[in-house]
Amino acid sequence: MPAPTPPPAELHGRILDWFDAHRRVLPWREEPSPWRVMVSEFMLQQTPVARVLPVFDAWLERWPAPADLAASPSGEAVRAWGRLGYPRRALRLHAAAVAIVERHEGRVPATYDELLELPGVGDYTAAAIASFAHGRRAVVLDTNVRRVFARVVEGVQFPAPGVVRAERDVAASLLPDDDPTAARWAAATMELGALVCTARSPRCEACPVAGLCRWRALGYPEHDGPPRRGQAWHGTDRQCRGRLLAVVRDAHEPVAPELMAAAWTDAPQRERCLDSLLDDGLLDVTPDGRFSLPA
């Protein structure tokens, strides 16, 4: 006999009570201005909280409002991004700041539709900013939330590789009716996935809804979908791009090609990655052939 679907009201009560007792103290949560939330959401994409915290603090000290960032060269945003990885996020955040100044008088918009029109803002980020910064009712589906719902409601170990309609319907059906509770629910389910219902070592003994979890009731069935692959790093183009960009980022003047060659000795891969960095707008080349951050 299949495990019953957990009652939404009971899930709400248990998870929200747990969140009130166990929520982490995070700077964008304690002072949730729309700009601070927006910066945190860009930085937290595929990056752990511990790595984001020092960069976030330095970023907000330098650029406390969208207009401050928009007035700086995009290359300075790339430099300040440091070693967070996926540096195109810095360019997108800079472009979003420019759009906020040009279209919204320097204020981060509050509605999902307006947020979705900003450069670099997709479905998740628009919903997260609307919810966490403006207290709006929105379906916020990050990796952690999706994993919690997959296990507790669907009874499977992991969700599909990409968000599917059925999954979104489940999330919408669980969303509390009023805005403030829905916003807390979004934060609470994300926190539960980050701290307890983790991908590799879920701490079911600490879970407030362990007794309602369908995956647990079914005996923790193994994932039977497409293989989940870890991200390779050593020797990849990602590593090469990161190392080349770091050379330019850490310099205070354009970098000669010889220094780039010393940073990565595989010439074909180096040239391919330099071309991709130039195509992405993360590097510029001077008339004499040296490399710099974009102006």
For residues 120 and 96, is the Cβ–Cβ distance under 8 A? Answer: yes
Are the CB atoms for 268 and 111 separated by under 8 Å?
A: no
Choose, from 10, 30, 31, 41, the residue flagged as catalytic.
41
Distance in angstroms (rounded) separating the CA atoms of residues 219 and 160: 20
Which residues neighbour 140 within 8 Å (Cβ) at sequence distance 6 or greater?
A: 124, 127, 128, 131, 132, 186, 190
Residue 5: name the closest of 266, 212, 188, 146 by CA. 212
Report how far apart the first and last C-alpha atoms of the chain are (Å, whole number).
Answer: 63
- 41 is known as an active-site residue: yes
Are 110 and 136 contacting, i.e. CB atoms less than 8 angstroms apart? yes
Single-letter amino acid, residue 214: R
Amino acid making up residue 37: V
Residue 133 token pair? 């910064």
Catalytic residues, by residue number, are: 41
